[in-house]
Structure 1
Amino acid sequence: MRSYGLGRRQFLATAVGVAAAWTQASGNAIAAPQLKQASRDNSVRVWLTEVSADKWVADQDDVLFKAKRTANPLTIKIDDSVKYQKVQGFGAAMTDSSAWLIDKLSTAERTKLMKKLFDPSKGIGLSLLRSPMGATDFNASGNYSYNDMPAGQTDPTLSNFSVQHDVPYIIPALQQALSLNPSMKIMANPWSPPGWMKTSDSMIGGTLKSEYTSALANYFVKFIHAYGEAGVPISYISPQNEPMGTPTWPGMFLSAYQEAELIQEIGKAFEANGISTKILAWDHNWDVPSYPETIFSDPAASKYTAGTGWHIYSGKPNYQTVVHNDYPSKETFITEATGGVWQDSNQTAFSEALGTWIINGTRNWANGVMLWNIALDPDRGPLNSDTAGIPMLRGLLTIDPADGRVTYNVDYHALAHASRFVKPGARRIYSNTFGEGSIENVAFQNPDGSKVLIAHNSGSAAKTFSVADGTHSFDYTLNAGDAVTFTYSGPAQSGRTPAATKVSDPTHDFTFTSASSPVTVTYDPALLPYQNAIRTGNKLVTYSLPIGASVRTTGRALSRRKWTATASAQPDWGVAANAIDGDIDTRWSLGHGPTSGDWFQIDLGNPTSFNKIVIDTGVNNSFDYVTRYQIYVSNDGVDWGSAIASGSGGIGKIAVTLPTRTAQYIRVVSTAASGFWWAIGDIEVYGSARGTGSITAPAAVSNGLQLKTWTSKEGSQVTVVFNGTADSKSFKISTDGSYTYTLPSGTSAMFTTKKLSSFPSPTFSDLKPGQGMPRSKFTIRGSGFGDAQGLGTVYFGSSYAEIDTWLDTSISAYVPKGLPAGKVTVSVKGAGGAEAGGSSFDVIDLGPALPRTGWTAKASDASQWDAPGNMLDGNSDTRYSSGTGQYDGLWIQVDMGQTQTFDKIVLDVGGSVSDYARSADVYVSTDGTDWTKVTSVADGQRVHLISFPTQTARYIKIVNTGNVARSWWSVAEFNVYN
C-alpha cells in the first residue's frame, strides 16, 4: 500500500482544464466582480454555476423572499437559531510546485493571480492554506527537509536546521497571501521528518526512531519560530501526513500510539516555547476513525490535540460525524482533497468537490476544507525528481511556465461557491437536506449576520425546491448537476406562522453543556451502520462506543485449555492457534486484506455461556485490525443462523458485549474490505453464571452525566449520554444491572433501540445470474432486506457470500471462493435477522486452462511496479496494472506462442476490489496484425468469464472501452479455456 488512499494510488486510478473564472473573454479568466452587500430587505442575491454551459459562479438576478407558506416536499428550512461549528475557511495547499509555478509569472500576472485566489473582495477569498514542511511528491526540486545530514550522520540538537529552501518562493507566496487576506490561517505538516530520524535513514519509508521523538518535537518548534520571524504565523500543524502509508515519495509509517507519544512531546515543547499553534491528529482518510480516537482517548495526548485532519481518498464524510459525536469538543478539518484524471468530466469533478467535500464535509462538522495543489503545470507537475510520483492530479489552476498562461480549473470554481461568501468565523446553521441524487445543501451565518445557502442538484433531472426562512420563502429551479449560492441578510421574523409546512428531516440534534461551551451531538440514521448492534430480546440495540469507553460485565475470562481455532485463511507464519495461546506477541493473520465473508472461529470445546468477546490486535499495531464485523454462534459448527452482533471494529482492543449466550462455536466475520490485513494477537471470551438481563439504553444517569432522549417518526428510540465532567463516569445498561458502560470525560454515547417486529419482513424475489464460477458477481432482488447490511447475511449453503452492495431491494455479492462445482442453495437473512427465502445456484467448473508455457504479454500502458508478464506467472499475488486510470482504447495483449483453439477467457483481478475493466472488446488474430472482434462485455467483474464462439488464433487482445479513470486496470491472472 502507499499513501493517499489507504493510499492515493487506489484513489488515483485526463485532467480537464476549465478556461473560465467568473465569466470568459477570449478564453482568458477575467477578474471577479465586486461582491455587493445584500440589502437588508427580502432580496436574495444568486450566484449560479451551469456546468454544461461553462458558466461558473455567475451573478444572477435577485430573487425575493415572500411572506408565503410552502408545502413543497423539497423545502429547505433555514433556522439561524440552531448553530453548529465555527468555520475557519476554505482553501488549498501552497506546495513547493505551486509556489514555484506562481513565482515564474511576471510580477503583474502574479499579483493578478494572487488577488483572484486570496482577496476577499476582488477574488474568491481563500482563507485556509496548507503548507508542507519539506518535500512531498509535488516539488520542483528533489527531496529535502529542514535538517538534512549526510548518510550515516545525525543532528539531535538540530544545529543545522534551516528553512532556507523556502525563502526564494514559498515564503514570499505565503506572505503575499496573508497580505491580501489577513484572516488567513496556515496549516503545516511534514510528509517526512529528516531521514536520519527514521528507521529507513531516508525521507522515503520507515518509521520514527523513538530516540528522536523529542528532536522531532523541537523540529516543529524551530519551524514555527522561523516562519513566524518571516511574518508567516502557523495556526495548525499535524505531526505526519498520511501516517498509515509509505509511498514512493517522502512518507513515514506512524502508529496511533507513536503519534500520541509524539503529540505529547510536541505539546510540551509548544508550552515551553509559548507557541499557541494547534495540533491536529491523523491527517489521513475518512475510514479509520479509531486512529484519531485512539489519540483522543489518551488524556496526556488529548490535552494537546485540537482535532482531526481528514483526507477523502477512502471512506465517506459520515466518519467525521462519527468522531465528532464521540468526542464533540474536537475540531474537524478536511486537510486534503484533489481532483484528477480519474474524473471523467467537469461535471463529476465539480459534483465531488462541491457536493461531497464542501457541502457534505461541512454538514459533517468540518471547520474548514482544504484542497491539494493550488497550481500545477500542463503535465500535472512539477513532480519530485527524486521519487516516482504520478502525474495524475489537477490543481485549482494550471500554469504553463513556458508562456505564463493561467487556466482556472473546475476545483477553483467549486471552492468559490463557499470561500467567496462564507467568511472566517461564520457558523453553520440549521438546514435540512435531501441527500445524494436530489438537492444537497448547507447553510451558514456570517459574523455580520448575513446568511449563505449553498445548494447542489446531484440528481439527473431539474428540480424545483423552496427555501423557507422564518415566515418567508422563495422557489428556485436548478438543473441537474448545477449549483447555486444564495446570500441574504433577512428575513426570519419570529412570532408568526412559519413558512415551511412540510419539512422532512430524519436527523436530530442533542445539545449538552460542557466546561468550555455547549456541544451538539447529531443523530442520523445513516450513522447506524458505523456503530455496534446487538440482538437483545425482541429488540435491536445499536450503540456507539468511543475509543476509550468500555462496557463491563459480571463475567470473567474463560479458560482456553480446551479451545481450538480455525480461520478462512491462515499463512504458515500466522496460524489461527496463535490468537488463543495467551501470547500477545504471536498472532493469527489472514495473510491478505479482508473482504466481506472472511472469518475467524473458536471452538470452545463444549457448549459454554458467555457475554463478552475481546479481540486484541496487539500493542502498537495500528494497521492489521478487523474493520466492520459480525458475530455468529453455533452449537454444531455448521448451522450459524443469523448474526447476533455487528460492529465497526477499530485499532487496539475490540470489545463485543452480548446478552448471555450458550454455544460451542463463535465466529467473527468481516463485512468490509480493507487495504490492511486482518490479524489477532489475542482473543478472550468472558462468561458468568449470573447476569442474564437484556442490554438496554440507560433510563437514568447520575454523577454529573447528562441524558437526553428522542423518538423518531419510524419509532426508533434514541438516547444520548454525555460526560461533561473531568473524569470517567459509569452507568448501567442492562435490566439487571450486570452491564456497566464507562464513558470517558468529554465523550458521548448514543443508543438507538428498535423493535425487531418493526423491521419489514424480507422477501427474496430472484437471483441473477443463476450460475457462475467462484468469486463471480451476482445480484439478489427482493424487498425488506434493510438499508444496510447490519445483521444480514447471504449464504451459499453454509458459506458466507462476500457482499458488494446491500440495499433494501437488492444485494450484490460474490460467489464464495473454494466452492465445488454443482448446485448450492443461496439464502438471505435480512438486516433484522429474519429469513427472506432463497433459490438454487449452479457453481460451474471450467476445467483446466490452456498451458501458458512460452506465452508473453504486453500492454499499451503499464505501471513501473506491475509488468504485463505478471498475469501469466501463475501467482495471483502478482499482477499487471496499467499505472493509469482506465480510458477508451487502453489494451492488453497475449501471444500464446502458437495457434490455439479456445472459446473462453477468464480475467482475474486477484486481491483488488476495484481495478477491473467495466467494459471491453475482445479481439483475436493469427498474425498479430489483422484483428477480428469476437465479443464485447459491458458488465465487468473482478473475476470475469468471457465466452464467445470457438476461435482458432494465436493472439488475444482485450481493449478497454470504459472511462473509469478513478481505477487502474489490473489483471492478476489471464487464463484461456476450450
Structure 2
Amino acid sequence: MSSYGLGRRQFLTTAIGVAAAWTQVSGNAVAAPQPKQASLGNSVNVCLTDVSADKWVAGQSDVLFKAKRTTNPLTVKIDDSVKYQKVQGFGAAMTDSSAWLIDKLSTAERSELMKKLFDPSKGIGLSLLRSPMGATDFNASGNYSYNDMPAGQTDPTLSKFSIQHDVPYIIPALRQALSLNPSIKVMANPWSPPGWMKTSDSMIGGTLKSEYVSALANYFVKFIEAYGEAGVPISYISPQNEPMGTPTWPGMFLSAYQESELIQEIGKAFEVNGISTKILAWDHNWDVPSYPETIFSDPAASKYAAGTGWHIYSGNPNYQTLVHNDYPSKETYITEATGGIWQDSKQTAFSEALGTWIINGTRNWANGVMLWNIALDPDMGPLNSDTDGIPMLRGLITIDPANGRVSYNVDYYALAHASKFVKPGAHRIYSNTFGEGSIENVAFQNPDGSKVLIAYNSGSAAKTFSVADGTHSFDYTLNAGDAVTFTYSGPEQSGRTPAATKVSDPTHDFTFKSTSGPVTVTYDPALLPYQNAIRTGNNLVTYSLPIGASVETTGRALSRSKWTATASAQADWGVAANAIDGDINTRWSLGHGPTSDDWFQIDLGSPTSFNKIVLDTGVNNSFDYVTKYQIYVSNDGGDWGSAIANGSGGIGKVAVTLPTRTARYIRIVSAAASGFWWAIGDINVYGSSRGSASITAPTAVSKGLQMKTWTSKEGSQVTVVFNGTADSKSFKISTDGSYTYTLPSGTSAMFTTQELSSFPEPVFSGLTPNQGIPRSKFTISGSGFGDAQGLGTVYFGSSYAEIDSWSDTSISAYVPKGIAAGKVTVSVKGTSGVDAGGSSFDVMELGPALPRTGWTATASDASQWDAPGNMLDGDSGNRYSSGTGQYDGLWIQVDMGQTQTFNKIVLDVGGSIDDYARSADVSVSTDGTNWTKVSSVADGQRVQLVSFPTQTARYIKVVNTGDVARSWWSVAEFNVYN
C-alpha cells in the first residue's frame, strides 16, 4: 500500500476513525466449520455470522428447499444457466511484516495458523496471495529491492539481482501456503523498483527513468524465474503499486502512458523468456477508470494486459463494471483492501469487508478479492523503519511476537464466508439483489456443480427473504448486520412452475460473441451517473465512451483568435488564457483540488454554432483532469439555464459531443470534488456544418459489429453495440449521419434513451437552514430532482452551489465561497431542465475575527504532522488533525492569552471533505480549570459556525461527543468573533 488511494499530500489527511476492540471467542479461529455434505438435492448447509453476539461463520441447522412458489418481494432468484466471470479465489497479502511475524511462532503454532488460513478443509482455504516485490510500508526491516546499489551507481544488466532477502521467512511462508492449498495463485508487484532506476535515486518518490524501462522489464523476468526456482510460481504481476501515489514510504509515480510503455516491454520480455504470468494494469483506486482504459486503448499494450487491479480507498465497485462493460474481455481483481482504526466498530468493518468488497466486488465482475496484510502485531506493525509509515491498519490476524498469541480479526471471518465455500474455478451465477439497506447477496457455482449463496442484511431491522432455485424455494430470517453463507448441491427439480414468480431486477445482461468466447455486458441504472449524458431533442441520451472510442462530427475546429478565457480560480503560473493559446505545453490550472462549483469559461466573441468541445490535459498528464463535469452555454454570460451535457471526464483528451448549439459563452463546470487539481493544456471547439441533428442510439451498425436492444420496465431504451472484430469499426448516431461513433476492437458502447417527458416535474418545497455563512451546508427538500445530479443544478443566486449529496427528494449543498452577505435566492433545475422553484437564503456577515496574537492551542490528541498551533496560523493550507478517529471526549482548546468578549466561533476544516466533528460541546473558562458549557453542535459540517450568548473568558474548549465519526478531526482555522 502506498497512498491509501489519496492524491497530492492527501495520504496524511485520509479519514481515520475509532479503533475497535477486536475480541475473539477464546482467541481462536472459528471459521473452520465443515459444511455437511448435502447428499440430498433439497438440503442446504447454513453458516452464520452474528457480529453482535461474537458468533463467526458458525454452522447452523440445515434448511430445506421445498417445491413451492414464493411471492415474497424479497426473493433471491438463483439461475445457474446464467454464468458470469470465473472466480480465481479470495485471499490477502503475505507482506514482509506478515511473514516475519508468522516466522516468530513456534513450529506447532505456525502449522496450526497456516492450516486455518490456507487449508481448504481445516481452515478457510485462502486461494489468492499477494506478495510485494521488495519493501513496502510494512517491513520488519528497512527499505530493500532485489537490486540495490550504492548511491550514484547503477546496474542496467541486473548483475547484482538477488532475492536473498526473501529466503529466510517470506518464501518459506509462501511455500507452506502452497503445500496446504496447491490451487493458490500468487500475485506480485513492486512498491518501487530499485532506486537507481528512478529520478529520485531512491525507493521513495520519483518516477521511472525512460532509459531503464527495459531493465525494469527484465527485473520482473528475473524475479519470476527466481521465485519459480524457489518453488513459488507467480500467476499475476502488476507493474507498479498505486502508480498515482508518491508517499513517504516506497512508491513511484507512473503515468498511464508510462505504464503502457512498461507493460509492452514486460510483455515482450515474458514472450522471449517463455513466461506465462499475466499482467494486471493500474493496481490503484476505483475512481480513475480512465487509467487502465488508457492502457487497454493502446493495442500494443493491451495484448499483454490481462485486466485491472483495483484498490478500494476511493470510489466504489460500480467502476469495475464500468470498465468491464467498455472492455468486457479483460479480467478484474480487487488487489488491495484493508480495515483500520477509521472503522468505528466490528460491525462497520464486517459490513465493508463482506458487503462492499466481497459481495459487491464480485457482483461487479471481480475474478478475485485480496485484502492487505495477513498478519500484523498489536501495534499495527511492524512498520518500515526507514519511512514514516502510519500505524492504522488491521491484518486478518494479530500476532503478538512477545508471547506468540494469535487472534483472528473480523476481516478473517468476512473472507471465510467466501473463501471457505467458493472454490477456485467457480463461476458467479445469476442472482438478483436488493442493495444497500436490505438483503445484499452474490451467488456462485463451484466446479463440482454445488452452489453458494452469500447474503448480508445491511438494513437496520431483521428481514425474512426467500431463496428460489428453479421450482424450489426456502425462507430465511436474517437479523440486521448478520450474514449467512448457504451451500447446496441441488435442489432436485420437479415440475415446470418456477418458484420465483415476482422477481424485480433493474439490471439486464447482453451477451455477444468474441474470438475469446462469449462476453457479457451489464446494463445497470446505477451506472448512468458515471456515463455521458446530453439533452437532444425530446430525449435524454446517456452513453458510454471507452477510452480509445470517439464521436466524430462534420464540423471543423473554430478559430480562437477572438476568444477570451476566464475561470473560477487559477494559479499565477497557470492562467486561463494558456488553455486557448494553441500551445499544449502551457496550461490553465485551477491551483487546487476542484469541487462541484469550480468552472472554466470561454467567450467565443459572438454567438457561434458548435457541436463538439475537446479538452486536452496534455501528453503524459495522468493527474490534473476534471473527473466529472457539466456543460452550460449562454448568450449573455449571466443566464446559464440548465446544463446541456454532463460526463465522467478522464485522462488525456475529453471530447464532449453535443447537438448543435448557438451561443457566445461556454462554461465547463466541475461536478465532483477531487484530490487532484484540474488543468487544461488546450481546448478546441468545433463548428457545425449542418443543421441541428439529434444524437440518437444507433438503429443499424456495420458488418462485423453486434447490436442488441432492451426496454426497461420504466421505459428506458437500452442499446448496446459490441465490436468483436480485430479492427476499429464506426456507425452513425444521428438522424442525418453527421455524428459517427468509432468503437475500437474488443470494446462495447451502451446507449440509454429516456424521454424528457417521462421525468417527473421537479418541485422545490423547503430550505433548511435559510441562514448561514459562506461554505456552510444547507439542505433542499422536494421531489422530482432525479436520483443523481446528472444535468441538475443548484443555483445560489447566479453562482453554482457545491453539491454534497443529491437524491430525488433531497439535495445537500454548500453556500459558495466568497459570496457577499445579504439575501440570495436558492433555486433548483432538474435533469429535464425544468425549474423546480426556490427560496431565499440569508448570507451572514460575521465581521472581523478577534486578533490571535499570543494565542496558543492544545489538544487531547494530535498527529505527528498537524500540530494544534496550525489552526491559529492564518494559513488554511495547514491544519491541526487528531491523528486518531473521533471519539467521545476528544478535545481541542484555545488559550487567548487574556480574557476576551465574544459570542461566536468558526471551525474551518479547510480543503478536507470529511475530517470535521459530527457532534461537539463548546465550553469556556477564565482559569482553564472551571468550565461552563455554552453551546452544542448536533450535526457538524466542514465550516462550523457556533453561536452562543456573549461570554467573557480566556479559554475555549471544543469537546467531541459521540463515537460515530469514522474520520480524523481536523481544524485548519479556529476563529473567534464578537
> Which bin holds the TM-score, normalised by the shorter protein?
over 0.9
Task: Name the structure 2 match of 1:245.
Answer: 245
Offset, 1:494 = 7.3
Q: Secondary structure at the match of 1:266?
A: helix
CA distance, structure 2, for counterparts of residue 168 and residue 890 of structure 1: 44
Offset, 1:37 = 2.5
Task: Name the structure 1 match of 2:818.
Answer: 818
Task: Name the structure 1 match of 2:66.
Answer: 66
Question: Which letter maps to 1:162?
Answer: S
Is residue 16 from structure 1 mapped to residue 9 from structure 2 by the alignment? no
Offset, 1:18 = 4.0
Q: Secondary structure at the match of 1:573?
A: coil
Q: Which moved more, 1:714-723 or 1:190-199?
A: 190-199
Do the aligned partners of 1:17 and 1:408 also contact (CA within 8 Å) in 2?
no
Q: Secondary structure at the match of 1:949?
A: strand
Do the aligned partners of 2:31 and 2:57 also contact (CA within 8 Å) in 1?
no
Offset, 1:927 = 2.0
CA distance, structure 2, for counterparts of residue 32 and residue 818 of structure 1: 59
Task: Name the structure 2 match of 1:639.
Answer: 639
Q: Secondary structure at the match of 2:969?
A: strand
CA distance, structure 2, for counterparts of residue 175 and residue 16 of structure 1: 33
Identity rate of aligned residues, in percent? Answer: 89
Q: Aligned ranges for residues 562-581 of structure 1 at < 5 Å?
A: 562-581=562-581
Is residue 407 from structure 1 mapped to residue 407 from structure 2 by the alignment? yes
CA distance, structure 1, for counterparts of residue 524 and residue 492 of structure 2: 26
Q: Secondary structure at the match of 2:271?
A: helix
Report the TM-score when normalising by structure 2.
0.98
In the TM superposition, structure 1's runs of 4+ consecutive aligned residues that sit over 6 Å from their partners are none
CA distance, structure 2, for counterparts of residue 556 and residue 866 of structure 1: 52
Task: Name the structure 1 match of 2:202.
Answer: 202
**Superposed CA offset, 1:890-934 (max 9, x none):** 222111111101110001111111111111111212222222222
Task: Name the structure 1 match of 2:152.
Answer: 152
Do the aligned partners of 1:924 and 1:933 also contact (CA within 8 Å) in 2?
yes
Q: Secondary structure at the match of 2:288?
A: coil
CA distance, structure 1, for counterparts of residue 887 and residue 620 of structure 2: 41
Q: Aligned ranges for residues 388-467 of structure 1 at < 5 Å?
A: 388-467=388-467
CA distance, structure 1, for counterparts of residue 890 and residue 102 of structure 2: 35
Offset, 1:861 = 2.1
CA distance, structure 2, for counterparts of residue 636 and residue 84 of structure 1: 52
CA distance, structure 1, for counterparts of residue 860 and residue 780 of structure 2: 37
Task: Name the structure 1 match of 2:867.
Answer: 867
Task: Name the structure 2 match of 1:952.
Answer: 952
Q: Aligned ranges for residues 245-264 of structure 1 at < 5 Å?
A: 245-264=245-264
Question: Which letter maps to 2:160?
Answer: N
**Superposed CA offset, 1:92-136 (max 9, x none):** 000011101100100001000000000000100000000001111
Task: Name the structure 2 match of 1:800.
Answer: 800
Offset, 1:881 = 1.6
Do the aligned partners of 2:41 and 2:492 also contact (CA within 8 Å) in 1?
no
Is residue 45 from structure 1 mapped to residue 49 from structure 2 by the alignment? no
CA distance, structure 1, for counterparts of residue 655 and residue 774 of structure 2: 33
Q: Aligned ranges for residues 128-207 of structure 1 at < 5 Å?
A: 128-207=128-207
CA distance, structure 1, for counterparts of residue 246 and residue 193 of structure 2: 13
Is residue 671 from structure 1 mapped to residue 668 from structure 2 by the alignment? no
CA distance, structure 1, for counterparts of residue 965 and residue 199 of structure 2: 35
| Structure 2 gaps, min length 5 | none
User: Cα gap change, 1:937/1:2 in structure 2, threshold over 3 Å: closer, same or farther?
Assistant: farther
CA distance, structure 2, for counterparts of residue 495 and residue 562 of structure 1: 76
Task: Name the structure 1 match of 2:110.
Answer: 110
Q: How many equivalent pairs are there?
A: 974
Offset, 1:406 = 0.5
Task: Name the structure 2 match of 1:218.
Answer: 218
Task: Name the structure 2 match of 1:652.
Answer: 652
Do the aligned partners of 1:691 and 1:738 also contact (CA within 8 Å) in 2?
no
**Superposed CA offset, 1:608-628 (max 9, x none):** 000000000010000000001
Task: Name the structure 1 match of 2:93.
Answer: 93
**Superposed CA offset, 1:315-369 (max 9, x none):** 0100000000000000000000001111111111101100000000000000000
User: Cα gap change, 1:177/1:11 in structure 2, threshold over 3 Å: closer, same or farther?
Assistant: farther
Do the aligned partners of 1:884 and 1:965 also contact (CA within 8 Å) in 2?
no
Do the aligned partners of 1:17 and 1:410 also contact (CA within 8 Å) in 2?
no
Offset, 1:832 = 2.1
CA distance, structure 2, for counterparts of residue 12 and residue 587 of structure 1: 35
Q: Which moved more, 1:201-210 or 1:684-693?
A: 684-693
Task: Name the structure 2 match of 1:468.
Answer: 468
CA distance, structure 2, for counterparts of residue 540 and residue 446 of structure 1: 42
Is residue 229 from structure 1 mapped to residue 233 from structure 2 by the alignment? no
User: Cα gap change, 1:303/1:356 in structure 2, threshold over 3 Å: closer, same or farther?
Assistant: same
CA distance, structure 2, for counterparts of residue 633 and residue 963 of structure 1: 46
Task: Name the structure 2 match of 1:939.
Answer: 939
User: Cα gap change, 1:560/1:495 in structure 2, threshold over 3 Å: closer, same or farther?
Assistant: farther
**Superposed CA offset, 1:865-888 (max 9, x none):** 222222111111221222222222
Question: Which letter maps to 2:515?
Answer: A
Q: Aligned ranges for residues 736-815 of structure 1 at < 5 Å?
A: 736-815=736-815
CA distance, structure 2, for counterparts of residue 385 and residue 287 of structure 1: 31
Do the aligned partners of 1:31 and 1:122 also contact (CA within 8 Å) in 2?
no
Q: Secondary structure at the match of 2:824?
A: strand
CA distance, structure 2, for counterparts of residue 634 and residue 492 of structure 1: 65
Q: Secondary structure at the match of 1:574?
A: coil
Q: Aligned ranges for residues 689-704 of structure 1 at < 5 Å?
A: 689-704=689-704
**Superposed CA offset, 1:129-182 (max 9, x none):** 000011111110111111111111111111111111111100000000000000
Question: Which letter maps to 2:639?
Answer: D
Task: Name the structure 2 match of 1:297.
Answer: 297
User: Cα gap change, 1:748/1:30 in structure 2, threshold over 3 Å: closer, same or farther?
Assistant: closer
Question: Which letter maps to 2:20?
Answer: V
User: Cα gap change, 1:151/1:503 in structure 2, threshold over 3 Å: closer, same or farther?
Assistant: same
CA distance, structure 1, for counterparts of residue 682 and residue 207 of structure 2: 25
Offset, 1:454 = 0.2
Question: Which letter maps to 2:77?
Answer: K
Is residue 587 from structure 1 mapped to residue 591 from structure 2 by the alignment? no
User: Cα gap change, 1:232/1:965 in structure 2, threshold over 3 Å: closer, same or farther?
Assistant: farther
Task: Name the structure 1 match of 2:534.
Answer: 534
Do the aligned partners of 1:625 and 1:676 also contact (CA within 8 Å) in 2?
yes
Do the aligned partners of 2:35 and 2:45 also contact (CA within 8 Å) in 1?
no
Question: Which letter maps to 1:949?
Answer: P
Is residue 358 from structure 1 mapped to residue 362 from structure 2 by the alignment? no
CA distance, structure 2, for counterparts of residue 17 and residue 688 of structure 1: 64
Q: Aligned ranges for residues 535-554 of structure 1 at < 5 Å?
A: 535-554=535-554
Question: Which letter maps to 2:36?
Answer: K
Q: Secondary structure at the match of 1:82?
A: strand
CA distance, structure 2, for counterparts of residue 514 and residue 29 of structure 1: 45
Q: Which moved more, 1:420-429 or 1:833-842?
A: 833-842
CA distance, structure 1, for counterparts of residue 946 and residue 675 of structure 2: 28
CA distance, structure 2, for counterparts of residue 11 and residue 221 of structure 1: 38
Question: Which letter maps to 1:284?
Answer: H
CA distance, structure 2, for counterparts of residue 11 and residue 523 of structure 1: 32
| Structure 1 gaps, min length 5 | none
Do the aligned partners of 2:18 and 2:884 also contact (CA within 8 Å) in 1?
no
Q: Secondary structure at the match of 1:620?
A: coil
Is residue 493 from structure 1 mapped to residue 497 from structure 2 by the alignment? no
CA distance, structure 1, for counterparts of residue 689 and residue 471 of structure 2: 61
CA distance, structure 1, for counterparts of residue 909 and residue 148 of structure 2: 42
**Superposed CA offset, 1:717-750 (max 9, x none):** 0000000000000000000000000000000000
User: Cα gap change, 1:11/1:495 in structure 2, threshold over 3 Å: closer, same or farther?
Assistant: farther
Offset, 1:831 = 2.1
Offset, 1:15 = 4.2
Q: Over aligned residues, Cα RMSD in angstroms?
A: 1.2
CA distance, structure 1, for counterparts of residue 663 and residue 131 of structure 2: 56
Q: Aligned ranges for residues 600-639 of structure 1 at < 5 Å?
A: 600-639=600-639
